[in-house]
């Protein structure tokens, strides 16, 4: 978007190198870019509106399922991520200010902070996603969870390693690049490589924070299971894990519920976690697995019976919409990171000044919108009570 008017032609405006040839003056160029960006944001809002409609429709049809399924989401992590994004919006706004005042270093630092926050957000999100994938909390067609809210799996998910491969490669690559730049004393390159290295590292910071929060909650619920024990388990659905589930629920509910939990817990122990991905592909809906839980007492007083809610048609649809909305939002974060990196490169070249700061401004608008969408997603998905 904002690329297009940004590095415009250098034709007949020699005195103003940033002014594209088809604009009369910088004001016209800036106004055009700004209007274009706002229109683009309108299309973004409408793009998300389809999913918000789906959300509203299915939540109004099955409110009880949404109340139940929402409890699987870790509100602490969600709140943390909200804070991270809000802070990144602050640093972005600060960056716009720096660009307007031609404070080159300040702009580079602000962009680096924004990028780092974005990356940390994704790190936390990776923990949230892989945690749910381990538990089988998948889109409706692949949904197979028999767990109750607060369930934990042992150790780190193998999916997390998959997701972390790219950031890990980035850490190595940017690290080498930064090292080379430092050796060559190439200040400008190191100003690009440094923030990018920090960005990649922030992903892992996010992952660690995510693990810490998850483990803390697991410790709260699971009592005797220490964080260390979880971390060293090789997550193959063993007895420890099942005990964990049993006690999780047991803390909150009565003895009758407890039985129900161990029942469902046993179920998951039948299959090692490694087979999860196979299962997703092989059987679409697993209603057969519900047989053992039918006839058990109510799980949460006042809430529907487990047999009614714990199936693909209910909670699965919630998670479908959860993955669609947060997934599309995460793609927007990634897109934003690409554009921020482009800004970072231009900032190190000192392209922005009092007269020409449009691109920083437009990307800032985009970034605030991405932030804003999350601010709607967070309560709508995490805080249903």
Partner 1 sequence: MSATATSANYSQPDSDNFLINSKGFLSWALTLDHKRIGLMYLIGVMSAFFVAGILALVIRAELMTPGKMFLTNQQYNQVFTLHGAIMVFLFIIPSVPAALGNFLVPIMLGAKDVAFPRLNLGSFYLWVTGAIFFLSAMLWTGLDTGWTFYTPYSTTTSGPVVAATMGVFILGFSSIFTGLNFIVTINTMRPPGMSWFKMPLFLWATYATSIIQVLATPVLGITVLLLAAERVLKIGIFDPQFNGDPVTYQHFFWFYSHPAVYIMILPGMGIISELMSVHSHKSIFGYRFIAYSSIAIALFGFLVWGHHMFTSGMANVTTIIFSALTFTVSIPSAIKVFNWLATMYKGTVQLNTPMCYSLSFIFLFTIGGLTGLWLGALSTDRPLHDTYFVVAHFHYVMVGGTLVGFLGGVFHWWPKMTGKMFSEFWGKISCLLIFIGFNATFLPQFVLGSRGMPRRYARYVEEFQELHQWSTYGAFLLGFGLFVALGVVIHSLMRGRKAPPNPWGGATLEWQCTSPPPYYNFLNPPAVNDPYDYLPLEYRDEERGWEYVRPEAPSVPTSEPEPAKS
What is the binding site for partner 1 (CB under 8 A)? 1, 3-5, 9, 20-23, 28, 31-32, 35-36, 39-40, 42-44, 46-51, 53-54, 57-58, 61-62, 139-142, 284-285, 312-314, 316-317, 320-321, 323-324, 328
| Encoded tokens for 371 | 């932030």
Plot region of 9 (φ>0 → left; ψ -120 to 50 → alpha; else → beta): beta
Main-chain dihedrals φ then ψ at residue 18, nearest 5 degrees: -90, -10
CB of 132 to partner 1, least distance (A): 14
CB of 286 to partner 1, least distance (A): 12
CB of 3 to partner 1, least distance (A): 7
Contacts 24+ apart (CB under 8 A), 327-330: 328/47, 328/48, 328/51, 329/48, 329/370, 329/373, 329/374, 329/377, 330/122, 330/125
CB of 273 to partner 1, least distance (A): 20
C-beta closer to partner 1: residue 210 or 336? 336
C-beta closer to partner 1: residue 104 or 332? 332
C-beta closer to partner 1: residue 138 or 181? 138
CB of 35 to partner 1, least distance (A): 5
Determine contact, residues 137/311, Cβ cutoff 8 Å: no
Determine contact, residues 384/148, Cβ cutoff 8 Å: no
Helix (H, G, I), strand (E, B) or coil at 124: helix
CB of 1 to partner 1, least distance (A): 7
CB of 138 to partner 1, least distance (A): 8
Rounded distance, CA 77 to CA 211, Å?
A: 10
**DSSP string for residues in 185-208:** T-HHHHHHHHHHHHHHHHHHHHHH
C-beta closer to partner 1: residue 263 or 308? 308
C-beta closer to partner 1: residue 6 or 192? 6
Nearest to 374 by CA among 4, 85, 10: 85
C-beta closer to partner 1: residue 179 or 335? 335
Determine contact, residues 355/13, Cβ cutoff 8 Å: no
C-beta closer to partner 1: residue 42 or 375? 42
CB of 342 to partner 1, least distance (A): 14
Nearest to 227 by CA among 237, 217, 238: 217
C-beta closer to partner 1: residue 31 or 252? 31
Rounded distance, CA 306 to CA 64, Å?
A: 12
CB of 142 to partner 1, least distance (A): 6
The CA angle 199-200-205, to the nearest 5 degrees, is: 85
Burial class (CB in 10 A: 0-12, 13-18, 19+), 169: exposed
C-beta closer to partner 1: residue 57 or 86? 57
Neighbour count for residue 21 (Cβ, 10 Å): 10
For 34, half-sphere exposure in the C-beta direction (CA atoms, 13 angstrom radius) is 10
């Amino acid at each position: 978007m904002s690329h297009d008017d940004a590095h415009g032609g250098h034709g007949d405006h020699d005195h103003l190198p940033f002014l594209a040839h088809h604009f009369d003056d910088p004001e016209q160029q800036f106004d055009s870019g700004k209007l274009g960006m706002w229109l683009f944001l309108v299309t973004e809002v409408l793009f998300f509106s389809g999913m918000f409609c789906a959300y509203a429709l299915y939540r109004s049809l099955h409110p009880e399922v949404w109340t139940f399924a929402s409890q699987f989401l870790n509100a602490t992590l969600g709140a943390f991520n909200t804070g991270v994004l809000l802070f990144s919006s602050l640093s972005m706004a600060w960056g716009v200010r720096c660009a307007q005042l031609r404070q080159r270093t300040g702009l580079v630092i602000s962009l680096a902070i924004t990028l780092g926050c974005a990356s940390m957000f994704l790190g936390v999100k990776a923990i949230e996603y892989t945690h749910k994938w381990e538990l089988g909390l998948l889109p409706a067609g692949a949904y197979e969870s028999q767990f109750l809210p607060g369930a934990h799996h042992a150790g780190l998910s193998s999916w997390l390693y998959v997701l972390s491969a790219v950031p890990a490669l980035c850490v190595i690559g940017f690290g080498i690049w930064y090292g080379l730049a430092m050796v060559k004393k190439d200040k400008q390159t190191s100003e690009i490589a440094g923030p990018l290295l920090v960005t990649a590292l922030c992903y892992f910071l996010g992952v660690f924070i995510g693990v810490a929060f998850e483990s803390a909650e697991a410790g709260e619920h699971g009592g005797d299971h220490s964080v260390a024990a979880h971390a060293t388990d090789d997550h193959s659905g063993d007895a420890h894990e099942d005990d964990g589930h049993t006690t999780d629920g047991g803390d909150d509910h009565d003895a009758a519920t407890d039985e129900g939990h161990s029942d469902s817990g046993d179920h998951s122990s039948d299959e090692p976690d490694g087979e999860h991905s196979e299962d997703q592909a092989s059987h679409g809906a697993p209603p057969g697995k519900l047989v053992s839980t039918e006839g058990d007492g109510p799980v949460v007083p006042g809430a529907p019976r487990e047999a009614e809610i714990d199936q693909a048609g209910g909670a699965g649809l919630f998670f479908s919409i959860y993955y669609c909305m947060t997934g599309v939002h995460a793609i927007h974060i990634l897109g934003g990171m690409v554009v921020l990196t482009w800004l970072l490169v231009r900032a190190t070249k000192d392209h922005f000044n009092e007269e020409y700061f449009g691109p920083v401004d437009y990307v800032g608008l985009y970034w605030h919108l991405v932030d804003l969408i999350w601010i709607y997603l967070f309560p709508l998905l995490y805080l249903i009570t």
